[in-house]
Amino acid sequence: MTDYKKYGRQAMRILLQVMAALFLTSLAWVLVYRWVAPPATWLMLDRRAHAPVGKGYYGIREEGRRISYDFKSLDDVAPQVPLALIAAEDQLFLKHHGFDFNALQRAVKTNMQEGHKLVGGSTISQQVAKNVFLWHGRSYVRKAAEAYFTVLIELLWSKRRIMEMYLNVAEMGDCIFGVEAAAERYFHKPANQLSTAEAALLAGVLPNPLRFRASNPGPAARAKQRRVMRNMRRLGGTTYIRAILED
């Protein structure tokens, strides 16, 4: 019996040490990204790993596509872009502390109804936690990790940094990540020159950037664009996000 207790205490001590190491590692990771741009995200690596390949010169296999990603400061992006993202994705972004519980409840009710398309209730903060720190997929473990990292970034980052990270790592097309890469690809201009309509179009395709294309928007994408522009006007324009622009 004594040996069992001894082994039990040793196992508990090892478990606590592992948990402490994981916590300190995740804390350091989040703190580093408070100032440093991520070199890549797990989704970028996944897209890269599953890119089609073909034969190039001399029969050597080469990658058929590349990741487009160019991290920019919020100061180097047109103010219409963060406003459009808030109008499209999370209109309470400046007010909540990482979670919109009313939106989550509405999503659960909608998803429980038979025949309805699945909808999400994630905030911008949750999407940043998912996009920057976690792997692609769906599971309860991943949702728990998402909640954990959401709490950390809300505690350790400013709203400005969360928005800056979101508009840089969000997937905006096939292998296109961030608003700078999307602006160059779709509109042949840098992100600081995007118009209100262009920002609204990019924000409108975010829920499914592989289906709705900003380069050739169909009726559904145009309808989303108009809805985002209405929300931008209703919020009061860029004065609504003055707090993060001047932070």
Quote the pLDDT of residue 105. Answer: 67
Domains of the chain, by residue range, sit at 1-33, 37-245
What is this structure's pTM?
0.85
Note whether 129 and 112 are within 8 A (CB): no
Helix (H, G, I), strand (E, B) or coil at 61: strand
Tokens 């380069």 correspond to: 215
Give me the tens of pLDDT residue by residue for the chain, a chain 247 residues long: 566 677 777 888 888 888 999 999 999 999 999 999 999 998 898 887 775 554 433 333 444 568 899 999 999 999 999 999 999 999 999 999 988 878 666 655 655 555 545 455 689 999 999 999 998 778 888 999 999 999 999 999 999 999 999 999 999 988 899 999 999 999 999 999 999 999 999 999 887 887 777 878 889 889 999 999 999 999 999 999 998 988 7
Tokens of 236: 């009061």
Give pLDDT tens digits for 115-171.
Answer: 545 455 689 999 999 999 998 778 888 999 999 999 999 999 999 999 999 999 999
What's the maximum distance between 2 C-alpha atoms anywhere in the chain?
73
Q: How far apart are CA 16 and CA 24, in angstroms?
A: 12
Cβ atoms within 10 A of the Cβ of 150, count? Answer: 23
Q: How far apart are CA 213 and CA 219, in angstroms?
A: 11
Q: How far apart are CA 212 and CA 218, in angstroms?
A: 8
Return the CATH number of the domain spanning residue range 37-245: 1.10.3810.10
